[in-house]
């Protein structure tokens, strides 16, 4: 039965990879894969209730991620509708591709630990749309944003869902994760950034702006940007104070953003107000990407529930042994399957073996957090960018995966060297 589920998952994965060749939207493939994995699982289990309860438990986690993603996308769309990002883009004067790449990646790297990698990616991709007109140039920058967001999220307990898991479960402390992973994460971004930027030449072409193109006042632009960024920054604070899931803070922030945008547009006519409303923002967000995310997470949760991922982790521990290699392989696997169940499986295996802040947990946080950058669907940041800019799977492999691999291996080596020097 487990093999049949794996076959369904692999076939669905291939359908997603060859989306353009078979002319089937990846969201449709992901949804069918997720449902079929659970269908095969429940049909081969004598106790249907156990499987149904497992699905309900996973659906709660999946729904939390989807509501978070939905809220973040709507907030960003509202900021964009009020031309809020123009406040930032007008201050970025450089048109050099090389200089702009460094500026964007550094901003992303230090924003991701606070907002988290997925939210940061959504914000930065929206920002790039206002900075770069040429699609190929913009896609290249978006790919580097994914690497920078994952690298930045790995050294913060709030920057990536896996580091948050390890923090909440008591395997790492915030001080240790920051001090131990800041340098390796900087190296994991700097390595590909130095190589790639050395190959870039020329200047970017900014999107054309005609006189009077702004449909909002300076007050509206500044207000939407400040409130929007404030709402996103509020999410980790809300989580820390209330211990409620992040999507609750995001939904509260969306309500606040909704209220304020309604107030500042109260005196406008219906046509102008409609273009800046939440209803309009909901129509603009990429719903197929959210459904794609749903299908992928359902498929992965089926593999987790039937024990396939735990079995994989056990096999690694039995046949590999070395924690350095095990962590490195988990990072490679996280580029293919979601890093959350992989880390959950590792927690179950090594919970009684390694104490809090042991090198293995720190190394696991780095590998699981940055390894997903090697494939576009290997991380929440990548999936968000893929949906927003319609990035093709093979385009990412050809143009970004090598840089992500270089950064991943460089940062992993830095982790090991730094740990051995501190012994």
DSSP 86-141: HHHHTT----BHHHHHHHHHHHHHHHHHHH-HHHHHHHHHHHHHTT---HHHHHHH
209 domain-assigned = no
Is 159 strand, coil or helix?
Answer: coil
- β-bridge partners, 203: 96
**How many CB atoms sit inside 10 A of residue 198's CB?**
9
Distance CA 308, CA 316 (A): 12
Range of the domain at 163: 2-203+215-422
33 domain-assigned = yes
Which tops the pLDDT comparison, 45 or 343? 45
For 96, phi then psi, to 5°, come to: -70, 130
Distance CA 382, CA 362 (A): 23
pLDDT surpasses 70 at 381 = yes
Instruction: Give whichever of 156-170, 236-250, 378-392, 407-421 has the largest mean pLDDT.
Output: 407-421
Number of domains present in the structure of the chain? 1
Query: What is the band of 277 on the pLDDT scale with cuts at 50, 70, 90?
Result: confident
Closest-CA residue to 277 (of 74, 58, 21): 74
**How many CB atoms sit inside 10 A of residue 205's CB?**
12
Query: What is the band of 211 on the pLDDT scale with cuts at 50, 70, 90?
Result: very low
208 domain-assigned = no
What tokens appear for 26 in the block? 């990846």
Query: What is the band of 180 on the pLDDT scale with cuts at 50, 70, 90?
Result: very high
210 domain-assigned = no
* pLDDT value of position 341: 62
356 domain-assigned = yes
Query: What is the band of 338 on the pLDDT scale with cuts at 50, 70, 90?
Result: low
Q: What is the mean pLDDT of residues 266-294?
A: 78
CA distances for 270 relative to 83, 197, 266, 312, angstroms: 19, 47, 9, 57
**pTM for the full predicted model:** 0.73
Secondary structure string (H, E, C) spanning 188-227: HHHHHHHHHHCCCCCECCCCCCCCCCCCCCHHHHHHHHHH
Q: What is the mean pLDDT of residues 359-383?
A: 89
């Amino acid at each position: 039965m487990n093999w049949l589920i794996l076959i369904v998952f692999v076939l669905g994965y291939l359908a997603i990879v060859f989306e353009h060749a078979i002319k089937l939207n990846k969201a449709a493939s992901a949804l069918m894969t997720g449902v079929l994995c659970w269908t095969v699982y429940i049909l081969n289990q004598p106790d249907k209730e156990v499987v149904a309860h497992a699905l309900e438990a996973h659906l709660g986690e999946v729904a939390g991620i989807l509501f978070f993603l939905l809220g973040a996308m709507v907030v960003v769309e509202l900021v964009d509708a009020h031309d809020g990002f123009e406040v930032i883009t007008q201050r970025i004067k450089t048109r050099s591709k090389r200089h702009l790449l460094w500026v964007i990646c550094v901003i992303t790297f230090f924003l991701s630990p606070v907002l988290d990698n997925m939210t940061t990616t959504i914000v930065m991709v929206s920002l790039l749309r206002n900075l770069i007109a040429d699609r190929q140039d913009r896609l290249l920058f978006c790919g580097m944003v994914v690497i920078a967001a994952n690298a930045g999220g790995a050294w913060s307990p709030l920057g990536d869902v896996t580091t948050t898991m390890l923090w909440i479960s008591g395997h790492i402390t915030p001080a240790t994760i920051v001090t131990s992973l800041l340098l390796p994460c900087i190296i994991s971004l700097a390595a590909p950034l130095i190589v790639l930027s050395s190959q870039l030449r020329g200047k970017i072409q900014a999107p054309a702006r005609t006189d009077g193109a702004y449909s909002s006042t300076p007050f509206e632009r500044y207000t939407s940007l400040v409130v929007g960024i404030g709402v996103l920054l509020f999410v980790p604070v809300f989580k820390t104070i209330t211990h409620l899931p992040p999507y609750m803070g995001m939904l509260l922030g969306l309500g606040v953003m909704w209220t304020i945008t309604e107030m500042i547009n109260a005196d406008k006519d219906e046509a102008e107000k409609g273009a800046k409303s939440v209803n309009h923002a909901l129509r603009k967000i990429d719903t197929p990407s959210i459904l794609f995310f749903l299908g992928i997470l359902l498929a992965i949760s089926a593999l987790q529930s039937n024990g396939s991922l735990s079995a994989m982790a056990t096999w690694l521990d039995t046949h590999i042994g070395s924690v350095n290699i095990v962590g490195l392989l988990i990072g490679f696997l996280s580029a293919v399957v979601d890093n959350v169940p992989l880390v959950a499986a590792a927690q179950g295996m090594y919970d009684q073996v390694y104490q809090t802040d042991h090198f293995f947990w720190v190394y696991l946080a780095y590998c699981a957090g940055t390894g997903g950058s090697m494939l576009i669907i290997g991380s929440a940041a990548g999936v968000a960018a893929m949906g927003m800019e319609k990035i093709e799977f093979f385009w990412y492999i050809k143009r970004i995966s090598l840089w992500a691999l270089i950064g991943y291996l460089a940062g992993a080596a830095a982790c090991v060297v730094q740990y051995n020097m501190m012994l």
